[in-house]
Amino acid sequence: MDINTILKGIECSCGKFHKCDIDYVYIEKNAISRLKMLCGSYGNILVVADENTFDAAGEKTLDALSGKKVEKVIFDGKTILIPNEDAIETVNQKIDNTDLIVGIGSGVIQDLCKYVSFFAKIPYMVVATAPSMDGYASDGAAMILKGMKETVKAHLPRAIIADVDVLKNAPMDMIKAGYGDIIGKYSALCDWKLSMIVNDEYFCDYIYDTTYEMINNTLKNAKGLLNRDEESIRALSEALVIVGIMMSFAGSSRPASGSEHHLSHFFEIVGIIDSKPYFAHGIDVAYSTVVTAKIRETLLKSDIPDSIFRLERKDYENKIKEIYKSAADECIKLQDRVGNYQNNRLEVYKAKKDEIKNVLSECPTADEISDILSKVGLDMTEFEKMYGREKINTAVSYAKDLKDRYTVLWFNYDLMGE
């Protein structure tokens, strides 16, 4: 699939003209050398990286920017960088007179650059260092603000530089994370269809089908990823970028992020709050896709009850405070604003029972997804060892409270309770 053709826009049968305002995407060997041409009109450039991502691509990037006035923000590579208020302030202190921000890294670095550049009204470019996530071409910045995981609407990079010579040498866990992020689309796409039925949410067949095509392309190249095969790495990187473009087409992360991402966010947020370890985002997404598949299998065997489950308000608040501690008030405010707990969808569930079950049955089974993950050495027993059954069950019940989006987690909670 020709990415640069897609970027020109699609007149879609859904009634929208889809566009993505990225000027250039280069996924190829020696791609970083293209920065010289891309940055020709910029004089003052701020490079943002951490020690690890700078080691991976920093010198190549600086060579391509030779002759420019370059400032650098290099975060510590020994600790996990959290894209929060402190990290934002660190970058903001360096943006005076900056014409362009160049982020060297993957998820967190790109989200941070995306956020800062948007509010500072400065363009940015991406030098990818790992095929680890689908946010390179997305206009959403996944930040942690006031202790909450929040996707902030920002803007798109002017260019994405994905140098296969760099990407193939990324830590293997990051390559597996990118694979896992793509496999998570099985769950996200199913959730999107579910919400279309339950909430009449906007849905686009072109975006859905293209995202599904990226899943299939990734599966074809799974074995080569463990060998760092260049074509497999390129195919995975292309899939991640195209899925990001599909998010831009949709105007939200809906095609790529659903219940599996909410579970991943739960483990990250609770891990940060409680100072407990958690997996890389894409690996958590991968394992969580197995969990959401199991939820769908259970729901397919269940009838619609005569009432939906709800805790008393006091019990609900106590539960959220017990789980989310310092972030609890933000969770409660979010759900009060959205009105999910006040929304009784029982009649919709009854009226559309057959449609709902048809959609749930389209997602691969938990066993099938576990087998897909095993192709790159991801084993569900590692997930269960990391978090334990109690924490996973809590996530199934309350990860939904971190977001305003309807997914199978809400359907499960409404019907099955905690």
Assign 3-state DSSP to the chain and report helix, strand, coil percentages, each to 5. Answer: 55, 10, 30
d(CA 252, CA 142): 12
Q: Is the pLDDT of residue 167 over 90?
A: yes
Segment 90-102 shows an average pLDDT of 95
How many Cβ atoms sit within 10 Å of the Cβ of residue 367?
Answer: 12
d(CA 47, CA 99): 11
Segment 307-326 shows an average pLDDT of 96
The residue type of 206 is Y
Q: Is the pLDDT of residue 232 over 80?
A: yes
| DSSP tag of 307 | S
In 227-309, alpha helices (H): 230-250, 259-274, 281-300
Give yes or no for a contact between 299 and 247, defined as CB atoms under 8 angstroms apart.
no
d(CA 170, CA 189): 28
Helix (H, G, I), strand (E, B) or coil at 371: helix
Burial of 342 (0-12, 13-18, 19+ CB in 10 A): exposed
Backbone φ and ψ of 150, nearest 5°: -135, 130
Position 61 confidence tier, pLDDT thresholds 50, 70, 90: very high
Position 80 confidence tier, pLDDT thresholds 50, 70, 90: confident
Query: What integer pLDDT is reported at residue 208 of this predicted model?
Result: 98
The fraction of the chain above a pLDDT of 90, given in percent, is 92
d(CA 173, CA 378): 10
Nearest CA to 296 out of 259, 321, 266, 323 is that of 259
Query: What integer pLDDT is reported at residue 344 of this predicted model?
Result: 94
Query: What integer pLDDT is reported at residue 147 of this predicted model?
Result: 85
Position 150 confidence tier, pLDDT thresholds 50, 70, 90: confident
In 47-92, alpha helices (H): 51-64, 85-92
Instruction: Give the pLDDT confidence of 98-119 residue by residue, as tens digits.
Output: 999 999 999 899 999 999 999 9
Segment 371-381 shows an average pLDDT of 97
Position 197 confidence tier, pLDDT thresholds 50, 70, 90: very high
Segment 329-334 shows an average pLDDT of 95
d(CA 272, CA 257): 21
Hunting for tokens 């002759």 — which residue is that? 67
Q: Is the pLDDT of residue 79 over 90?
A: no
Of the ranges 144-153, 180-189, 222-231, 302-311, which one carries the lowest mean pLDDT score? 144-153
Hunting for tokens 């260049």 — which residue is that? 230
Q: Is the pLDDT of residue 164 over 80?
A: yes
How many Cβ atoms sit within 10 Å of the Cβ of residue 226?
Answer: 15
Nearest CA to 383 out of 295, 291, 318, 314 is that of 291
Instruction: Give the pLDDT confidence of 254-312 residue by residue, as tens digits.
Output: 999 999 999 999 999 999 999 999 999 999 999 999 999 999 999 999 999 999 999 99
- CB-based contacts of 301, cutoff 8 Å, min separation 6: none
Distances (CA, A) of 209 to 107, 186, 204, 241, 251: 25, 11, 9, 15, 16
Query: What integer pLDDT is reported at residue 163 of this predicted model?
Result: 97
Q: Is the pLDDT of residue 125 over 90?
A: yes
Q: Is the pLDDT of residue 139 over 90?
A: no
On whether the pTM is more than 0.75, the answer is: yes
How many Cβ atoms sit within 10 Å of the Cβ of residue 223?
Answer: 12
Q: Is the pLDDT of residue 4 over 90?
A: no
What's the token pair of residue 20? 């993505």
The residue type of 56 is A
Query: What integer pLDDT is reported at residue 395 of this predicted model?
Result: 98
Segment 207-214 shows an average pLDDT of 97
Segment 18-45 shows an average pLDDT of 94
Give yes or no for a contact between 146 and 330, defined as CB atoms under 8 angstroms apart.
yes
Position 379 confidence tier, pLDDT thresholds 50, 70, 90: very high
Q: What is the mean pLDDT of the chain?
A: 95
Query: What integer pLDDT is reported at residue 107 of this predicted model?
Result: 85
